Amino acid sequence: MFDTITAPRPTERVACDRCGAAGRYVATLPGGGELVFCGHHDRVHRAGLQAAGAWSRPLG
């Protein structure tokens, strides 16, 4: 059985997976998973994630 990942509702607060601050960006991984980052951690990790085949977009 597979679990379905659903996008958070706009009224839900989504926290950064690194520090717990308010999430602003979603990085979609090549394998299908997602990571949520605040603005700071998106900037820190974006280049490395893109090099690995992931892409980032604003949350919401």
* Any domain includes 31: yes
What is the pTM (predicted TM-score) of this model?
Answer: 0.75
The mean of the pLDDT values for the chain is 88
35 close to 26: Cβ distance less than 8 angstroms: yes
Question: Count of domains in the chain?
Answer: 1
* Any domain includes 12: no
Which range marks the domain in which residue 44 is found? 25-58
* Any domain includes 39: yes
* Any domain includes 10: no
36 close to 54: Cβ distance less than 8 angstroms: no
Q: What is the mean pLDDT of residues 22-49?
A: 95
Q: What is the mean pLDDT of residues 35-45?
A: 96
| Torsion sign over Cα 1, 7, 29, 39 | negative
* Any domain includes 52: yes
Q: What is the mean pLDDT of residues 19-31?
A: 95
CA distance 6 to 3: 10
For 1-21, write each residue's pLDDT tens digit. Answer: 566 666 655 556 799 999 999
Q: What is the pLDDT of residue 60?
A: 77
* Any domain includes 1: no
